[in-house]
Amino acid sequence: MLKPLLVFGTRPEAIKMAPIVAACKDRPQDIAAKICLTGQHREMLQQVTDYFGIQSDINLDLMKPNQSLAELTAACIERMDTVLVREQPDCVVVQGDTTTVFATSIAAFYRRLPVVHVEAGLRTGNIWAPWPEELNRRITSLVTAIHCAPTPQAADQLRKEGYAESTIHVTGNTVIDALLWTVKRERARGSEWRKKYDFLGDQRMILITGHRRENFGDGFRNICQSIRTLAERLPDVAFLYPVHLNPNVQGPVHELLGTLPHVYLVDPAPYPEFVWLMDRSTMILSDSGGVQEEAPSLKKPLLVMRDTTERPEAVAAGAVELVGTSVEKITERTMAIMTDSAEYQKHQVDKNPYGDGSAAPRIVELMLQQGWQK
Ligand code: UD1
Ligand code: UDP
């Protein structure tokens, strides 16, 4: 029996770890996983665990309003060490690039425990963008025993950095497992969601998200200015923005967009609702990592409001465009997609490069093959 500890702390990690939790449950004779939440996020994490019915065994409850990265990192390493000593897992599974991932990997390394890194090998090559995630990923790779790369390109990146071939596996991204499962369910509940969003009527809708630290300040002001300009030029289009709870996002977004007609600022949407909103949208403006991976499956054009992306596959496929945070570029490209159907259709691709919906069972099978069972 393999006893892994699955660790996660933020909204996107929970969404992407949920299929692995389910895949472990599908093999009760082989695997007994424990779940440790760091609680880096609180409300936004609970929205996901509630939906997927995930019961945690441990919750470190680390979130404090607007805490510094150093404070969160220190608390996470220290508290995780206590958990690892007490639980003695066979391996530790982390997903992505957050402080939870980096701090947990370091704690596991100090206890000489094998780390399984889900969504490995993503790089921009610039440690300042995304900040601090690029560094979190690189440090995590250094202490990882199995790198679960979502795409062949991510696997090649790890080879270039000198990681042993036997440790690198292309598994697909579990975000697609979660999305395909969820979109089917939520389409079936469409009338409920249409009722909740009846203010949208039959209007076309642009869905917006944004939260990256490197966009704080000027980047966010530009994003908000672009939305103001677009709302003037597209008076018959609704702009729906579920605003991330980080105070550095809430502040400028409410200040700059709070009073505009047909720009709707709402609380972060629970995952199933957000999936329905993506599916209902005409196009998406976002700086999110996960949303970049999801949009191609739903055939929604997406503008990535960042200067660089560690997810170049969907850009190469033509599904998403990297536009940075310049007001001119965001407004010009949005107008082109919203007003020219040929331009719109160019972004609708047949195959999502990030996965086929079966990443989680592959990852569980890989873990079982390592001989880590005590
Ligand atoms: C974190 C991750 C980022 C990831 C994002 C996903 C780091 C450094 N950043 O960014 O990589 O893309 O999550 O959303 O790991 N807050 C709440 N309630 C919540 C969540 C956050 O109030 O449920 C507020 C708190 O004031 C908190 C602040 O947001 O201190 C920042 O949270 P934090 O996890 O440090 O960073 P994010 O910006 O959410
Ligand atoms: N998401 C959500 N509600 C929202 C916005 C996003 O459930 O209001 C989901 C989205 O579908 C994706 C994930 O959250 O799966 C992305 O999280 P986020 O943008 O916070 O982080 P990132 O992916 O950039 O690390």
Contact of 265 with 257, CB cutoff 8 Å: yes
pTM for this predicted structure: 0.98
Residue 183 lies in a domain: no
CB distance 65 to ligand 1 below 6 Å:
yes
CB distance 271 to ligand 2 below 6 Å:
yes
> Do 156 and 197 belong to one domain?
no
Residue 374 lies in a domain: no
Dist. CA 134 → ligand 2 center (Å): 18
Cis peptide before 268 (omega within 30 of 0): no
CB distance 315 to ligand 1 below 6 Å:
no
Dist. CA 245 → ligand 1 center (Å): 7
Render the burial of 106-141: b for 16+ CB within 10 Å, e for the rest: bbbbeeebbbbbbbbbbbbeeeebbbbbbebbebbb
Which of 8, 10, 62 gets mutated to test ligand 1 (max ligand atoms within 8 A of its CB)? Answer: 10
Which ligand lies nearest the alpha carbon of 8? 1
Q: Report the distance separating Cα 146 and Cα 140, nearest Å.
A: 11
Q: Assign residue 112 the CATH number of its domain.
A: 3.40.50.2000
Q: Report the distance separating Cα 12 and Cα 251, nearest Å.
A: 22
Mean pLDDT of 136-150: 98
Catalytic residues: 97, 119, 133, 211, 213, 244
Dist. CA 252 → ligand 2 center (Å): 19
Residue 60 lies in a domain: yes
> Do 84 and 223 belong to one domain?
no
Residue 29's pLDDT is what?
97
Contact of 219 with 129, CB cutoff 8 Å: no
**Band (324; pLDDT cuts 50, 70, 90):** very high
* 185-198 pLDDT, tens digit each: 999 999 999 999 99
Q: Which atom of ligand 2 is nearest to the CA of 133?
A: 25
Which ligand lies nearest the alpha carbon of 246? 1
Residue 236 lies in a domain: yes
CA 148 to chain centre: 16
First to last CA, the chain: 8
* 202-239 pLDDT, tens digit each: 999 999 999 999 999 999 999 999 999 999 999 999 99
> Do 268 and 123 belong to one domain?
no
Amino acid making up residue 277: L
> Do 94 and 14 belong to one domain?
yes
- Of 278, 218, 270, 223, residue with least CA distance to 245: 270
Dist. CA 273 → ligand 1 center (Å): 20
pLDDT at 116 over 90: yes
Residue 76 lies in a domain: yes
Q: How many domains is the chain built from?
A: 2
**Band (181; pLDDT cuts 50, 70, 90):** very high
Mean pLDDT of 150-164: 98
Mean pLDDT of 139-162: 98
Residue 223 structural domain = 189-346
pLDDT averaged over every residue in the chain: 97
Residue 108's pLDDT is what?
98
CB distance 246 to ligand 1 below 6 Å:
yes
pLDDT at 374 over 90: no
SS3 per residue for 5-17: EEEECCHHHHHHH
Residue 17 lies in a domain: yes
> Do 112 and 131 belong to one domain?
yes
> Do 125 and 193 belong to one domain?
no
> Do 211 and 271 belong to one domain?
yes
Residue 312 lies in a domain: yes
> Do 103 and 195 belong to one domain?
no
Residue 335 lies in a domain: yes
* 269-305 pLDDT, tens digit each: 999 999 999 999 999 999 999 999 999 999 999 999 9
Dist. CA 357 → ligand 1 center (Å): 27
Residue 103's pLDDT is what?
98
CB distance 272 to ligand 2 below 6 Å:
no
> Do 333 and 361 belong to one domain?
no
- What's the number of CA atoms in the CB half-sphere (13 Å) around residue 338? 26
SS3 per residue for the chain: CECEEEEECCHHHHHHHHHHHHHHHCCCCCECCEEEECCCCCHHHHHHHHHHCCCCCEECCCCCCCCCHHHHHHHHHHHHHHHHHHHCCCEEEEECCCHHHHHHHHHHHHCCCCEEEECCCCCCCCCCCCCCHHHHHHHHHHCEEEEEECCHHHHHHHHHCCCCHHHEEECCCHHHHHHHHHHHHHHHCHHHHHHHCHHHCCCEEEEEECCCHHHCCHHHHHHHHHHHHHHHHCCCEEEEEECCCCHHHHHHHHHHHCCCCCEEEECCCCHHHHHHHHHHCCEEEECCHHHHHHHHHHCCCEEECCCCCCCHHHHHHCCEEECCCCHHHHHHHHHHHHHCHHHHHHCCCCCCCCCCCCHHHHHHHHHHCCCCCC
> Do 341 and 363 belong to one domain?
no
> Do 113 and 83 belong to one domain?
yes
Mean pLDDT of 23-35: 98
> Do 241 and 107 belong to one domain?
no
Mean pLDDT of 46-60: 98
CB distance 101 to ligand 1 below 6 Å:
no
Q: What are phi and psi of 145, to 5 degrees?
A: -90, -40
CB distance 320 to ligand 2 below 6 Å:
no
